[in-house]
Chains A and B, each alone.
Chain A
Amino acid sequence: AQRVTQPEKLLSVFKGAPVELKCNYSYSGSPELFWYVQYSRQRLQLLLRHISRESIKGFTADLNKGETSFHLKKPFAQEEDSAMYYCALGGSGNTPLVFGKGTRLSVIA
């Protein structure tokens, strides 16, 4: 079965500090991993996906199949990064997306 674990419900960091939002997954097949973000009063939207291997808004995430992790990182947090972040796992074929419970990031000025 597919499962996504985000161990932290809330993460508070100071502006300019590094950020790491943890995500671990369980899936027997070849995973597709995503980070979705929801800013205050806005809809859920895609932040980045592992196959793109790109940096969005300074965030990166590397898929580590050995550790079954897809942690989201940013070297210097900004106040506008404060939001709810969801890690999501997609499988092959028609397997639907499974979301983690989310981590609320609060960046303190």
Chain B
Amino acid sequence: DAMVIQNPRYQVTQFGKPVTLSCSQTLNHNVMYWYQQKSSQAPKLLFHYYDKDFNNEADTPDNFQSRRPNTSFCFLDIRSPGLGDAAMYLCATSTIRGGGNEQFFGPGTRLTVL
């Protein structure tokens, strides 16, 4: 089945230790998104790629970076994780850009910062 895959499902890191979360998709979608979701809160968009065009949300901290080496893969790098960065991180894809289009989500990676 075509899908969005996130690895690992659970990630534990230490305060200040860089961490990378991975997302891959077999849907061949142009757009890939990264969301942060904290407990009892709405998913919050961090950034998205439209093909290789990177779009950062205005309030996304500089501590968060992303790479998309090809259509299938997208990475979220947290350079110096703080305790406040502990959250579920969701990757999603869509065929074209814009909120009017269905997004397909991965299962998420739960990040714990010690």
- Which of A's residues lie within 8 Å of B, judged by CB? 4, 9, 32, 34, 42-46, 49, 86, 88-102
The 8 residue pairs across chains A and B that have the minimum distance between CB atoms: A90-B99, A32-B100, A97-B99, A99-B42, A44-B105, A90-B100, A43-B107, A101-B42
Please, what's the 1-or-0 string for B81-107, where 1 marks a CB less than 8 Å from any CB in chain A?
000000000101000011111111111
Residues 28-43 of B contacting A (Cβ, < 8 Å): 33, 40-43
B48 touches A (CB below 8 Å)? yes
| Interface bracket on B | 20 to 34
- Give CA–CA (A82, B19) in the complex, Å: 34
**Given A99-B42, A101-B40, A92-B102 contact (CB < 8 Å):** no
- Give CA–CA (A49, B101) in the complex, Å: 9
